[in-house]
Amino acid sequence: NAGVTQTPKFQVLKTGQSMTLQCAQDMNHNSMYWYRQDPGMGLRLIYYSASEGTTDKGEVPNGYNVSRLNKREFSLRLESAAPSQTSVYFCASKDRERGNTGELFFGEGSRLTVL
């Protein structure tokens, strides 16, 4: 049982390049999330998908796009990377059947450096 799987684990980009972070969960969860983690800033929500077919902006959506490909997969795209997007990115999922509360299950993170 893999849980939440993110790829790649590490990536170095040059300013202006694009890339997609992939996330897949095998727990049949309805809700999926993308967070970024920066020193002294905690975890900040970029985008989330409450259910298949829906996506919504979080606290820091600028510069990112997302796609909920199916119930399992939720990808995060940087169209034109900037140094300010250097961060560790976490994907998470949650079982919607538990209502608004309930445990978030996180992947192991993707460390992105933009030069």
Provide the binding-site residues for other proteins, judged by CB under 8 A: 4, 31, 40-45, 48, 50, 56, 58-59, 90, 92, 100-101, 103-104, 106-109
Closest distance to other proteins from the beta carbon of 25 (Å): 12
Closest distance to other proteins from the beta carbon of 16 (Å): 29
* Residue with Cβ nearer other proteins (79 or 108): 108
Q: In 39-97, where do the E strands start and end?
A: 42-49, 56-57, 64-68, 74-78, 87-94
**28 neighbors 4 (Cβ within 8 angstroms):** no
Closest distance to other proteins from the beta carbon of 14 (Å): 25
Quick one: tokens of 109? Answer: 């993170």
* CB contact burial 11-25 (16+ within 10 A = b; e otherwise): bebeeeeebebebbb
* Residue with Cβ nearer other proteins (38 or 79): 38
* Residue with Cβ nearer other proteins (42 or 53): 42
Quick one: tokens of 95? Answer: 């079982």
